[in-house]
Amino acid sequence: MNISNEEYGEIAKRVSPPSAMTKTIPMAFLIGGGICVLGEALLNMYAALGFSQDNSAALTSMTLIFLSALFTGLKLYDRIAQHAGAGTLVPITGFANSVVSPALDFKTEGFVLGLGAKMFTIAGPVLVYGISASIIYGIIYYIVKLF
Amino acid sequence: MDMFMEYVWAFIIGGLLCAVGQVLIDLTKLTPARILTSYVVAGVILGAIGVYEPLIELAGGGATVPLTGFGNLLAKGVREAVDENGLLGAFMGGFTSAAVGVSAAIFFGLIAALIFKPGTKINENP
């Protein structure tokens, strides 16, 4: 079997055990930081187009989520995530990926209980605990404001 | 603020928030679902005690793009809704402020799932 050095490197990388933290953490930092820089650029772009600060932030999230859905559909997001770890998980693109990926994978199990239900495998718990935490905060904030 | 430094801070703070997530994954074997959930709840708490807004002032996208920023957005929405509507606001603000992000994820997710074919999962450690 004739394989080039690059191909050998690829194979070795694929079969080697999970890389050490000396590699995973810098990768998460670099790629996660990169996605945030893209977000910052989008924020500035929408602000320059005349959108308010809140709307610029909303449009930035929308754009990043759109890109994540596209990259997940093209199977590129998971490929990047293999190297980035938390770098592609923690940004909002990771949340979008967690919605799109199971929706796509379980499409074969039907459009309602497959695509529709599995879409919330990870987004579901995120909303349950995120929204509940915000309601508890709202109640505490209301009570504190009374005094 | 200087344009260049804005991007540097976005990179550093955003990168650090992701690096913390990676440390948690490597050391505690927390699943991605737990990491995402923890980040959003942590964001709600950090937003509630008022430390997240200053971080956004400094890092912009570096603080709003990670999911802690989504949590902070929930806290901010609830605070504004309670100011306006009293106790009822506690049950309004979260969804109001999360509306765009969640709607976009659902809608673009549906479109992507309809257009693209399911493929072999490349990611072996989900």
What residues of chain B, 105 to 124, have a C-beta less than 8 Å from chain A? 105-106, 108-116, 118-119, 121-124
Average pLDDT, chain A: 91
- Domain-located, residue B124: no
Task: Give me the total of CB pairs closer than 8 Å, taking one residue from chain A and one from chain B.
Answer: 293
Q: Per-residue pLDDT tens for B60-113?
A: 999 999 999 999 999 999 999 999 999 999 999 999 999 999 999 999 999 999
Distance from CA of B89 to the nearest CA of A (A): 7
Give this complex's ipTM: 0.92
Which residues does chain B have within 8 Å of residue A107's beta carbon, measured at their own beta carbons? 113-114, 118
d(CA A57, CA A40): 9
- Domain-located, residue B36: yes
- Domain-located, residue B60: yes
When pLDDT is averaged across residues A8-33 and rounded to a whole number, the result is: 78
Half-sphere exposure of B88 (CA within 13 A, CB side): 2
Of residues A65, A90, A138, nearest to B18 (C-beta): A90
Domain ranges of chain A: 20-92, 106-147
- Domain-located, residue B123: no
- Domain-located, residue B77: yes
pTM of the model: 0.89
A104, B116 in Cβ contact below 8 A? Answer: yes
Of residues A66, A107, A137, nearest to B113 (C-beta): A107
Q: Which domain holds residue B11?
A: 3-115
Of residues A37, A64, A133, nearest to B7 (C-beta): A37
- Domain-located, residue B122: no
Number of folded domains that form chain B:
1
